[in-house]
Amino acid sequence: MPWFWYFAPMLSLSKARLSRSFAAIVIALALSVSTVPDVVASPPKADLKQVEEKVRDLELEADAAGEQWNEARHKLAKVNARISTLTNNSKRASTKFKRLQNDFSKLIVGLYQQGTIDLELQALFSSNPKNYMAQLSAVDFVGSRQIIAMRDLERASISLKNTKTLLKAEQLKSKQLVKEADRHLKMARSKLAEASRLLNTLKAEQRRKYLARIKAKQKKQSAKAKKLRKRAGNLAANRRVKIAIRFALSMVGHRYIFGAAGPTVFDCSGLTMAAYRKAGVYLPHYSRAQISATRPVSRGNLRVGDLVFFFKYGIRHVGMYIGGNRFVHAENSRTGVIISSLSESYYASHLSGFGRVVG
């Protein structure tokens, strides 16, 4: 009998015990798992008030980016105007230079035909006119007429070179401003897209309440603006301010669009620009440029029609004062043209100053 047969019963017993132990462990685990309650991570509920505040911040940031876009476009328009002027100046300078160069060439040929200039100097003119004129001016036979012609040609050459240098610099600036304007517009649109995504986190009922509240506010604002038009107009200091304030109030409830200045859609500086344009006064389409175009006034001296500026903490915004601590403005793409109070916490914290339109 082989020796390992003596251990066979023991091995069989151990195997059986192991099988029973393993089965017991599996059953215990199964029971413990079945008794653990299911835990499913549910998404946090969107708080309507918090979402509204965040959406408003994003839309006002979008308005600020839109105003930076207006700034870049404002600068670009000035640069392009200079480019146009420099291009015309360059053409005139080039025409003048070619004419003087042609006249001077005829003068040199005449001197050569008279035998007063050798071929070496004439060849030098064709390769390096500036050095040639410097040498020629030292020659005794050159009279006042020739010297005047040389100096005219040299001045024309310098003018042409300077004009081309300035033109090149402005063209480079123009390209940079186009990129800057595009960057700000993309930023404005991305802020609006973020606001839309945030609104989509609301439940259908919350979103319905939110939109209904905005619609009711706009309706109420339009009715208020209608009443204020006559009252604010009567408080205006002059006819132009009366026209501007009545126009701005008549636009309450109209839409906000980046870069718009009427006739029925606006951004913040576009509304103030359009209102005063109606009164025959020009304002640039950019809030920071508008503050430069107005005369600063204190809060205690505020009048109907004065502009109200908000530049703190990166915001760029402008509205028109209508009396009673209120102002009319194109706020953002969701609320459009509305009436707000200077006491509202957001505007009170971003208020920068006031300006009176002169004209």
Residue 165, token pair as written in the block: 């240098």
Q: Is 350 an active-site residue?
A: no
Phi, psi of 43 (to 5 degrees): -60, 140
Sheet holding 351-357, edge to edge: 294-297, 351-357, 307-310, 317-323, 326-332, 336-341
Phi, psi of 128 (to 5 degrees): -150, 85
Contact 44, 205 (CB under 8 A): no
Q: Is 317 an active-site residue?
A: yes
Q: Is 184 an active-site residue?
A: no
Q: Which single residue is written with the structure tokens 């969701």?
A: 334
> What's the CA gap between 22 and 211, in Å, rounded?
62
Cα–Cα–Cα angle for 36, 37, 41, rounded to 5 degrees: 125
**Would you list the DSSP string of 32-52?**
HHHHSPP---PPPPPPHHHHH
Choose the catalytic residue: 184, 254, 285, 317.
317
Choose the catalytic residue: 74, 254, 285, 329.
329
> What's the CA gap between 17 and 268, in Å, rounded?
85
Choose the catalytic residue: 254, 268, 285, 350.
268
Active site members? 268, 317, 329
